[in-house]
A = this chain, B = another copy of it.
Amino acid sequence: MLTERQDAYGRMMWGYLNGEPITEIVERDDGWIAPSGGAPSYFAEFKQWPRHQQVAMRFVRGRVLDVGCGAGRCCLYLQKRGHQVVGIDISPLAIKTCRKRGVKDARVLPFTRVSRALGRFDTILMMGANFGLFGSRRRARWLLRRLHALTTPHARILAESNNVYQTKDPDHLRYHRFNRRRGRMSGQLRIRVRCRRHCSPWFDYLMVSPKEMRVILSGACDVS
C-alpha cells in the first residue's frame, strides 16, 4: 500500500475526478520522462475504449477480480452487466475514486497480497497493459500460481500488454538494449510515477511480445 506522498497515480485520478487540470508523469530509470496516457483514459466509458478492450469484455464470466482497477472503469461496466466484481489497487486514492464513482467492492490491496480471503474468481482482469503488474518473468510465475489458488477450474485471465518491440523510437530501443545487457527482459521497465509533489517508489512494469507472454504462461502451467 502506498503512503500519501507515494500515491502519485491516485493523486492524478482523484484530482481529475475533482476537476483539476492534472498530469501523471512516468519516469524511467534511464532518465527518460514523459506524461502518461492521461487521466481521461482511466475514466473512459465503454464506448470510448479501444476496440480490443471492448472485445475482451465478451470473454468475462462469473465473479471477477480486477487487478489494478484504477478509477474503476472496468468494474463499473461489469457491475452494470450483472457481474460480481472485486477491484483491487495499491493506491488508496484510486480506491477512493472507485468508491466515489460507485464501485461496490474496491479494496486497497497490492497484487502480491491476493489470497483466498477474497473468495474464488471465474475471471481475472488485467486491462490497460496491466499484464505489466506481473513485473518480471520470475514474479509472473509466482503470481500466476497465487492466482491459480483463488480461481475456479475453468477461470480465465484477461490480460493486456504492449508489445514493446513495436517501436522505432531510438530512446526506447536503447533502453531495451540496456535492459538486456543487465539481464532483464527488453520490456521490463523500471519506472516510477509522479504527479505534482507525489512520487511512487520505483517498480517493474513488464511489457512483452505475444511470444514472450506465451513462454511466461506455459512455464507457469508446468509448475502449478
- Using a CB–CB cutoff of 8 Å, the interface residues on chain A facing chain B are 23, 25, 30-35, 171, 194-197, 199
Contacts and interface: CB of A to CB of B under 8 A. Distances in A.
A34 B196 contact: yes
Given A25-B35, A31-B197, A34-B196, 7 more contacts: A23-B34, A23-B35, A25-B25, A31-B199, A32-B197, A33-B196, A171-B197
6 contacts: A23-B34, A23-B35, A32-B197, A33-B195, A33-B199, A171-B196
A82 B93 CA distance: 56
Nearest to A199: B31
A113 to B, nearest CB: 28
A196 B30 CA distance: 10
Contacts of A194: 33
Nearest to A169: B196
Contacts of A196: 32-34, 171
A6 to B, nearest CB: 11
Contacts of A31: 197, 199
B35 A197 contact: no
A74 B33 CA distance: 29
Contacts of A33: 25, 194-196, 199
Contact of A197 (B23, B25, B30, B199): B30
Contacts of A171: 196-197
Contacts of A23: 34-35
A25 to B, nearest CB: 6
A31 to B, nearest CB: 5
A174 to B, nearest CB: 8
* 9 interchain residue pairs of minimum CB distance: A33-B194, A32-B197, A23-B35, A31-B197, A171-B197, A32-B196, A25-B33, A171-B196, A35-B35
